[in-house]
Chain A
Amino acid sequence: MRFMNIIKVALRALRRSAMRSVLTALGIIIGVAAVIAMVSIGNGAKSQVEASIASLGQNIISVFPGNFTTGGVRGGFGSASTLTVEDAQAISREVSGVVAVSPEMNDRSQVLANGLNWNTQIRGEDVTYLDIRLWSVTDGEMFSEADVRNATKVCVIGKSVANQIFPNMDPVGQSLRIRNIPFKVLGVLASKGFNYFGQDQDDVLVIPYTSHLKRIARRPNLNSILIQAQSPELMAKIQQDVTDLLQQRRNGREPDFTVRNQQELAEAATATTKTMTVLLGAIAGVSLIVGGIGIMNIMLVSVTERTREIGIRLAVGAHGRDVLTQFLVEAIILSSMGGALGVLLGVGASELVSKLNGWPVLVSTSAIVGAVAFSAAIGVFFGFYPARKAAQLDPIEALRYE
């Protein structure tokens, strides 16, 4: 039998019980829609996490001091005071593929100005810091290399600090005091919001690391060294080179530093959301299978109802194969139409979720293609048993069926 005829007969049969066909397809519609919506929401969450990790800066390697142990008391991670400005300069000078290096100081302190005070993080950084962190100054300007060289008493402040100390006024050009030392505010940093770990990234005050070493911390050692690599491919090599260089500078003493790679953090964070996406998709996939069973159920009913019709077709010369194709095509039409409508519903639902909840939603083409292909496959899989049952009917029995 010609294919167009098969399609025609199948559509006619489906139209004959239109309500039933729609309800049967609904199982697939909901299944496909659920898979697409869930995967979209999962992907959205994943991309948000990735974006928030990327906002920390790209291709970043950090060097932290090692542990400090004295008299059997072990100080824990980063407790040793062994990283020096010279280490940072050596890295900048000798390791290839490094774009920027910033020696880092990090302390908490009370900040006073304008009759108000606020406890915040005081960071000592090089001028390259903002580039490394993909950050910028919105009002005013960043301190200059000359400021770093001369350990000038200047700072740029985060949005939160600005709001706390200088409410309703322009902080640029104002003066504030850290540990009783006056610093001039050169600029306000762009708002970064909360990071992946829930910390307010705008609650910060950045000064030249030289000023920090000399005036605030008053110690010779750095808290860490921030390194930006040229490309993600170079990360591993640079990590190794930095380790080798610092080891060499310590003349064979026990390594008293740790080199860390931001990639590891990013991978751990995205792995979590990836697991969530797979889990959501799998749960939605179950409803797709339930929809498939619905199709099988209705096709079985249809075969029973149309036993006589099958008998007539067999009597006038239809092969079992013709009858099989007939019912299989019906099941496939039912499931793929359900799949197509499910895509529309799924994309719509994803959009709705993103509108109503403000969640980021990422509708992926692979999820759409996958869900539609899977629904057609379900038509074949669950349609096959009823279709085979129809094809194997005995023409005499089928004709006699009331």
Chain B
Amino acid sequence: MPAVVQLKDIHKTYDSGEVPVHAVRGVTLDIAGGEFVAVMGASGSGKSTLMNLLGCLDRPTKGRYLLGGTDVSGLDRNQLADLRNQKLGFVFQGFNLLSRTTARENVELPMLYGQRRFSSKEIRDRALHSLDIVGLSNRADHFPSQLSGGQQQRVAIARALINDPQILLADEPTGNLDSKTAVEIMGVFQKLNEQGITLVMVTHELDIAHYCKRNLIMRDGRLVSDTAVSDRLIATVEMQKILAAEAAAKLTA
């Protein structure tokens, strides 16, 4: 498959403070279609900055970023917004859903800001389809406050999927979740990946990274390790183990 993401000697320097902070110092990276990449690193290693650059929320100070073959490093604010809308999907650690807005309306949000106009019915149908992919079509009219953490994150994933993005970016998607729900979310990701969706996620948990296919490690703004995952965990299998353990705990109790 052709490379979806090509980073060529990407640098990012923040000048806002007294001392310029060189957060990313020359990252060169190719991510092909269908990959499932985990970016790891200690805090301050530059992995979040790299994610913001990948997600077109920020522009590199130096270097070239090709997304789906087109150079996006020189685009302006509105062009980047359109790119985020059409080609990228975001999943955040804190879910970032609009409160007092139903799950379906949250999922519809990116479609409302697209350059193309859709009929209300089309928007609704696609939102429901998206919710169906993450297994929440029966919760469409619930508000975020009525959903569990795992469910909220799945709504966020449905929102990220609605415009058929080329790549799904997740920033610590399991950071706010307990281990069992984390496995559940990784299961959703693995299922999406099997359907051909490219995923890049940031995590600091090694075991979570083991659900991915490729692990990158960053330190001081540079990539220091790039390895394929050999002993990959499969979420459905892990979930079976957890359920079995729970059942056993109840038996012995």
Contact = CB atoms under 8 A, between A and B. Distances in A.
Interface string A1-43: 1100100000010001000000000000000000000000000
A1 B77 contact: no
Contacts of B64: none
A317 B57 contact: no
Interface string B43-68: 00000000010010110000000000
A16 B100 contact: yes
Contacts of A309: 98
A50 interface: no
A2 B119 CA distance: 10
A134 B86 CA distance: 80
Nearest to B78: A319
B92 A399 contact: yes
Contacts of B159: 316
A291 interface: no
Contacts of B82: 317, 319
B84 A320 contact: no
B33 interface: no
A395 B112 contact: no
Contact of B113 (A12, A16, A308, A319): A319
Contacts of A5: 112
A322 B113 contact: yes
B110 interface: yes
A188 interface: no
B112 A1 contact: yes
A312 to B, nearest CB: 5
Nearest to B87: A317
B113 A318 contact: yes
B117 A2 contact: yes
A176 interface: no
Interface string A51-87: 0000000000000000000000000000000000000
A399 B58 CA distance: 13
B121 to A, nearest CB: 14
Contacts of A396: 52, 57-58
B78 A313 contact: no
Contacts of B97: 312
B90 A315 contact: yes
Contacts of A318: 81, 113
Contacts of B77: 319-320
A314 interface: yes
Interface in A172-207: none
B192 interface: no
Interface residues of B, number: 25
Interface string A131-170: 0000000000000000000000000000000000000000
Interface in A248-279: none
B78 A1 contact: no
A317 B85 CA distance: 4
B25 to A, nearest CB: 19
B96 A317 contact: no
Contacts of B86: 317
B84 A316 contact: yes
B1 to A, nearest CB: 25
Contacts of B78: 319-321
A316 B97 CA distance: 11
A319 to B, nearest CB: 5
Nearest to B89: A316
Contacts of B55: 315
Contacts of A308: 96
Contact of A317 (B52, B92, B110): B110
B114 interface: yes
B136 interface: no
A321 B82 CA distance: 13
A300 B179 CA distance: 40
Interface string B129-171: 0000000000000000000000000000001000000000000
A316 B110 contact: yes
A1 B108 CA distance: 12
Contact of B81 (A2, A16, A311, A314): A314
A5 B117 CA distance: 12
Contact of B84 (A2, A315, A399): A315
Contact of A313 (B52, B92, B113, B117): B113
Nearest to B86: A317
B153 to A, nearest CB: 14
B84 A317 contact: yes
Contact of A1 (B57, B100, B113): B113
Q: Which of A1, A316, A322, A396 has the most CB of B within 10 A?
A: A316
Given A321-B78, A396-B57, 18 more contacts: A1-B112, A5-B112, A12-B101, A312-B96, A312-B97, A312-B98, A313-B113, A315-B55, A315-B90, A316-B85, A316-B109, A316-B110, A316-B113, A317-B85, A317-B113, A318-B81, A320-B78, A399-B96
Interface of A: 1-2, 5, 12, 16, 308-309, 311-322, 395-396, 399
6 contacts: A5-B112, A316-B84, A317-B81, A318-B81, A319-B78, A396-B57
Q: Which 6 A-B pairs have the closest CB atoms?
A: A317-B85, A316-B110, A317-B113, A318-B113, A317-B84, A1-B112
